[in-house]
């Protein structure tokens, strides 16, 4: 059987990390944080080390996408400090990927404990609570203070993961803490999504989908998951969130097992693109252990096999924890012999070029199946267990977040509102006047002559402080640029000739 070509996969992911992505990714720039998360997590899975400089850059970039009112934006083309909220919006998916990326970028126990330092936990959890609707579903983002976006299980999964990472299983009377989301309403919403065939969809009369099944089961799984290894687990007799949220568990298992199909590689070479590449019978008539060399998965009935659906179906079965006929070896051969690409990565189908999404989920499945070239994997978070145990888990249980003002009015005020900006600009003017009194002594000068060309540099310095939680050591180049600008401007206004550059020695 073909093996994972680890060297080629490493080169593929290094190209993704070190160079510009191909043109087709331009249209998905708004989800750049997702691509960054997949790339950094693939590095982790393949044990490719990050330099300390790279880890610092990753962390700084992710925190720069944090929205002043809570959550993270998906790309630098979204909200920036100082802009109005309607010019950029934090969303659930970007927030999940931001937290995961921060955890992966940490190295060693000390960095892991501070993986979420700089994350505004309080604002983020308040923002998360606002995203939940009365029916228990979650919107994707806020618009004029109201949750907007679909009601499908993806948003519930993301919300449940974020809640677990930042809030954990803390009781409301343990200590001062943020109000929790309505867990009972969330479970009820997910329960309403199971369909006649045992699968899950946004609503029970919609088409079932393996990806939605993963998200629903994952959301319930995190509601039951202890915040640490020492945390008490639910009593065997107690009704868990998983029990409450899936009314027909046997039907769910049948639906997931039924996503396995006997992949016919030879016939696909001769078929037209729109024709099928599988034989799919009733689940009871399948004998996957015999005569099925390549076992693919689809996400819905009567669809083609696809790399990513091996993950969505198999990982859901892993979280459910029930033994069920699953052809692990046939699925491994499908990935390694059919969709693994010669240059590294995985394609969606046989012969298609590799892309980040399918390449990562292909690695994820193999890691979950126990491939010796990859780290152990966490089916719930879709990251390695080493990343999960060393960074995400301690951060959730110890509350290693940035400190926030205790005054509620201060906690809710935007970081770069009009009042803060006016105060900052006034301080800059006072400092400029102290350095060059003659500039402000002549009141007959026009307004244009008092224009400070260094305001942009000053704001960049302030924004850098905002992104890095007040850490001045991360903003040295911005402060130096501001000082150089002020010095050059002051000397020019005073009529001091600029110093000629010294010739450099060959």
The predicted-structure confidence for 245-276, as pLDDT tens digits, reads as follows: 999 999 999 999 999 998 765 545 444 454 44
Please tell me whether residues 207 and 334 are part of one structural domain.
yes
Q: Which helix (H) or strand (E) holds 317?
A: helix 307-320
pLDDT of residue 283: 42
Helix, strand or coil for residue 119?
coil
Rounded to 5 degrees, φ, ψ at 146 are: -115, 145
pLDDT of residue 86: 41
Distances (CA, A) of 399 to 122, 124, 361: 11, 13, 30
The verdict on residue 368 lying in a domain is yes
- We report the CATH number of the domain holding residue 345 as 1.50.10.20
pLDDT above 90 (res 181): yes
126-174 pLDDT tens trace = 999 999 999 999 999 998 889 999 999 999 999 999 999 998 655 555 5
pLDDT above 80 (res 12): yes
DSSP 390: I
Distances (CA, A) of 347 to 8, 266, 339, 344: 14, 17, 5, 9
Rounded CA-CA distance 454/250 in Å is: 67
Instruction: Calculate what percentage of the chain has a pLDDT beyond 90.
Output: 53
Rounded CA-CA distance 378/498 in Å is: 60
Please tell me whether residues 387 and 440 are part of one structural domain.
no
Q: Are strands 260-263 and 146-148 parallel, antiparallel or unpaired?
A: unpaired
pLDDT above 80 (res 338): yes
Number of residues that make up the chain: 506
Which of 340, 364, 398 lies at the terminal end of a domain, its last residue?
398
Distances (CA, A) of 372 to 3, 4, 311: 10, 10, 18
Nearest in space to 226 (alpha carbons), one of 102, 384, 26, 380: 380
Q: Determine contact, residues 391/115, Cβ cutoff 8 Å.
A: yes
The verdict on residue 149 lying in a domain is yes
Higher pLDDT, 139 or 410: 139
Q: Count of domains in the chain?
A: 2
pLDDT of residue 81: 59
Rounded CA-CA distance 213/230 in Å is: 29
Please tell me whether residues 326 and 425 are part of one structural domain.
no
The verdict on residue 197 lying in a domain is yes
Helix, strand or coil for residue 431?
helix
Higher pLDDT, 384 or 419: 384
pLDDT of residue 379: 94
Please tell me whether residues 237 and 349 are part of one structural domain.
yes
Rounded CA-CA distance 14/477 in Å is: 28
The verdict on residue 423 lying in a domain is yes
Output the pTM of the full model: 0.74
Q: Average per-residue pLDDT in the chain?
A: 79
Maximum pairwise Cα distance, the chain: 94
Please tell me whether residues 353 and 208 are part of one structural domain.
yes
Please tell me whether residues 385 and 311 are part of one structural domain.
yes
Distance of CA 265 to the CA centre of its chain: 34
pLDDT of residue 290: 55
347-405 pLDDT tens trace = 999 989 999 999 999 999 999 999 999 999 999 999 998 665 554 543 444 434 443 43
Rounded CA-CA distance 249/506 in Å is: 76
pLDDT above 80 (res 176): no
Q: Determine contact, residues 89/142, Cβ cutoff 8 Å.
A: yes
The verdict on residue 56 lying in a domain is yes
Please tell me whether residues 381 and 423 are part of one structural domain.
no
pLDDT of residue 472: 73
DSSP 275: S
Nearest in space to 260 (alpha carbons), one of 277, 280, 276, 275: 280
Q: Determine contact, residues 69/132, Cβ cutoff 8 Å.
A: no
Tokens coding 494: 């005073």
pLDDT above 50 (res 285): no
Which of 334, 366, 398 lies at the terminal end of a domain, its last residue?
398
Please tell me whether residues 77 and 190 are part of one structural domain.
yes
Tokens coding 160: 């449940």
DSSP 193: T
Please tell me whether residues 385 and 428 are part of one structural domain.
no
pLDDT of residue 177: 60
The verdict on residue 373 lying in a domain is yes
pLDDT above 90 (res 314): yes
Which of 398, 425, 460 lies at the terminal end of a domain, its last residue?
398
Q: Are strands 146-148 and 141-143 parallel, antiparallel or unpaired?
A: antiparallel
Query: What residues pair up with 132 in beta bridges, in sequence order?
Result: 138
Segments forming the whole domain that contains residue 121: 6-398
String of DSSP letters for 194-247: B-TTS-B-SSTTSPP-HHHHHHHHHHHHHHHS-SSTTSPPPPTTS--HHHHH-S
pLDDT of residue 172: 52
Instruction: Decide: residue 38, CB within 10 A, 0-12 exposed, 13-18 middle, 19+ buried.
Output: buried
Q: Is the dihedral of CA 246, 250, 256, 259 positive or negative?
A: negative
Please tell me whether residues 365 and 457 are part of one structural domain.
no
Q: Determine contact, residues 245/191, Cβ cutoff 8 Å.
A: yes
Strands in 278-279's sheet, in edge-to-edge order, are: 278-279, 260-263, 295-297
∠ CA 78-54-105, nearest 5°, is 75
Please tell me whether residues 422 and 376 are part of one structural domain.
no
Nearest in space to 382 (alpha carbons), one of 308, 299, 326, 297: 308
Higher pLDDT, 91 or 424: 91
Q: Are strands 278-279 and 146-148 parallel, antiparallel or unpaired?
A: unpaired
The verdict on residue 405 lying in a domain is no
Please tell me whether residues 121 and 268 are part of one structural domain.
yes
Rounded CA-CA distance 491/493 in Å is: 5
The verdict on residue 448 lying in a domain is yes
């Amino acid at each position: 059987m073909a093996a994972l070509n680890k060297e080629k996969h490493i080169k593929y992911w290094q190209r993704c990390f070190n160079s510009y992505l191909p043109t087709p990714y331009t249209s998905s720039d708004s989800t750049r944080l997702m691509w960054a998360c997949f790339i950094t997590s693939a590095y982790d899975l393949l044990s490719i080390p990050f330099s300390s400089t790279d880890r610092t850059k990753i962390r700084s970039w992710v925190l720069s996408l944090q929205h002043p009112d809570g959550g993270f934006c998906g790309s630098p083309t979204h909200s920036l400090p100082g802009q109005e909220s309607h010019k950029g919006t934090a969303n659930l998916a970007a927030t999940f990927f931001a937290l995961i990326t921060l955890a992966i970028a940490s190295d060693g126990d000390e960095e892991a404990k501070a993986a979420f330092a700089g994350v505004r936990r309080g604002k983020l959890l308040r923002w998360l609570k606002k995203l939940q609707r009365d029916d228990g579903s979650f919107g994707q983002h806020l618009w004029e203070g109201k949750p907007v976006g679909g009601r499908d299980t993806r948003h519930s999964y993301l919300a449940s993961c974020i809640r677990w990472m930042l809030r954990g299983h803390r009781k409301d009377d343990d200590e001062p803490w943020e109000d929790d989301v309505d867990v009972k309403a969330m479970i009820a919403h997910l329960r309403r999504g199971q369909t006649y065939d045992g699968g899950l969809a946004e609503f029970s009369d919609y088409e079932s989908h393996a990806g939605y099944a993963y998200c629903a089961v994952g959301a319930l799984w995190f509601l039951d998951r202890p915040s640490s290894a020492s945390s008490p687990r639910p009593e065997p007799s107690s009704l868990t969130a998983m029990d409450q949220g899936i009314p027909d568990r046997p039907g769910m298992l049948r639906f997931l097992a039924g996503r396995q199909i006997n992949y016919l590689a030879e016939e696909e070479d001769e078929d037209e693109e729109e024709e099928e590449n599988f034989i799919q019978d009733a689940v009871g008539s399948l004998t996957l252990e015999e005569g099925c060399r390549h076992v693919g998965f689809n996400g819905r009935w009567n669809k083609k096999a696809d790399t990513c659906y091996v993950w969505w179906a198999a990982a859901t079965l892993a979280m459910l924890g029930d033994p069920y006929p699953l052809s692990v070896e046939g699925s491994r051969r499908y990935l390694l012999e059919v969709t693994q690409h010669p240059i590294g990565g995985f394609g969606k189908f046989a012969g298609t070029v590799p892309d980040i999404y399918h390449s990562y989920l292909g690695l994820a499945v193999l890691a979950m199946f126990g491939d010796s070239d990859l780290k152990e994997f966490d089916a719930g978070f879709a990251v390695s267990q080493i990343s999960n145990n060393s960074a995400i888990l301690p951060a959730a249980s110890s509350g290693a977040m940035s400190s926030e003002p205790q005054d509620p009015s201060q906690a809710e005020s935007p970081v770069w509102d009009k009042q803060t900006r006016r105060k900052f600009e006034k301080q800059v003017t006072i400092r400029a006047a102290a350095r060059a009194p003659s500039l402000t002594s002549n009141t007959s000068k026009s307004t244009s002559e008092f224009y400070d060309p260094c305001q942009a540099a000053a704001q960049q310095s302030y924004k850098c402080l905002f992104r890095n939680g007040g850490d001045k050591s991360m903003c040295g180049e911005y402060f130096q640029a501001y000082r150089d600008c002020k010095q050059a401007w002051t000397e020019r206004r005073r009529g001091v000739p600029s110093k000629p550059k010294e010739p450099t020695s060959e």
